[in-house]
């Protein structure tokens, strides 16, 4: 681990003693609260950091930002930088500070800039829907969600 100071804050660089890995999610990630989709993305990232469960980060552009309210709460991570928080009023007190983001993350984790993460305990669900390939009625490859629209029941098209 390499360490330095910036504006009086220690900055740590991920390394063998504290690895951080960011990878694209193979599929769709969907966050819901009160039966509403707060965010859904096929461009989500999975961040794995030593000592913590994996976290899914979704692009802000794939979130309904009208459901989020920025708070004055913030924290600091020496590996990622300053962290700001949002609440989701739709979820009541359970969803206070439910969302966090690193608006100016350190270079080692720059991929999460403009992305949001959600506390699993403060939303109803964070679903990871893997890419499942299927064959539609025309015989071409499509994902399961598209295939659902082509399902047949008793020889007739079935509505989703």
Domain for residue 146, yes or no?
A: no
Mean pLDDT of 8-32: 95
Distance in angstroms (rounded) separating the CA atoms of residues 160 and 151 = 8
The pair phi, psi for residue 57, each rounded to 5°, is -110, 130
Report yes or no on 136 lying in a domain: no
The vertex-31 CA angle with 30 and 36, nearest 5°, equals: 105
8 Å CB contact between 99 and 86:
yes
pLDDT score of 24 more than 80: yes
In this predicted structure, what is the pLDDT of residue 5?
Answer: 54
Q: For tokens 């709460």, what's the residue?
A: 73
Residue 144 has pLDDT above 60, yes or no: no
The encoded tokens of residue 78 equal: 């020496």
Q: Do the domain assignments include residue 24?
A: yes
Q: Quick count: other Cβ atoms within 10 Å of Cβ 120?
A: 13
List pLDDT tens digits, range 100-119. Answer: 999 999 999 999 999 999 99
- pLDDT confidence of residue 150: 31
**Three-class SS of residue 50?**
coil
Q: Whole-model pTM?
A: 0.79
Is 147 part of any domain?
no
Can you give the pLDDT at residue 131?
81
What is the residue range of 20's domain? 2-131
Residue 158 within any structural domain of the chain: no
Residue 137 clears pLDDT 50, i.e. is over it: no
**How confident is the model at residue 88, as a pLDDT?**
98
Residue 142 domain-assigned?
Answer: no
Give the span between the Cα atoms of 160 and 153, in whole angstroms: 11
Residue 39 within any structural domain of the chain: yes
Number of domains observed in the structure of the chain: 1
Mean pLDDT of the chain: 85
- Domain CATH code at residue 34: 2.170.150.40
The residue count for the chain: 160
Does residue 92 sit within a domain?
yes
């Amino acid at each position: 681990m390499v360490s330095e100071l910036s504006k009086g804050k220690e900055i740590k660089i991920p390394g063998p003693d504290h690895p951080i890995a960011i990878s694209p999610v193979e599929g769709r990630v969907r966050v819901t609260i009160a039966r509403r989709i707060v965010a859904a993305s096929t461009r989500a990232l999975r961040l794995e950091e030593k000592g913590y469960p994996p976290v899914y980060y979704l692009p802000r552009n794939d979130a309904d930002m009208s459901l989020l309210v920025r708070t004055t709460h913030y924290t600091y991570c020496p590996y990622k930088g300053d962290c700001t928080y949002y609440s989701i009023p739709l979820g009541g007190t359970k969803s206070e500070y439910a969302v966090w983001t690193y608006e100016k993350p350190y270079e080692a984790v720059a991929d999460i800039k403009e992305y949001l993460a959600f506390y699993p305990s403060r939303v109803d669900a964070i679903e990871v829907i893997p890419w499942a390939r299927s064959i539609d009625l025309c015989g071409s490859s499509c994902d399961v969600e598209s295939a659902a629209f082509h399902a047949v029941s008793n020889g007739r098209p079935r509505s989703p």
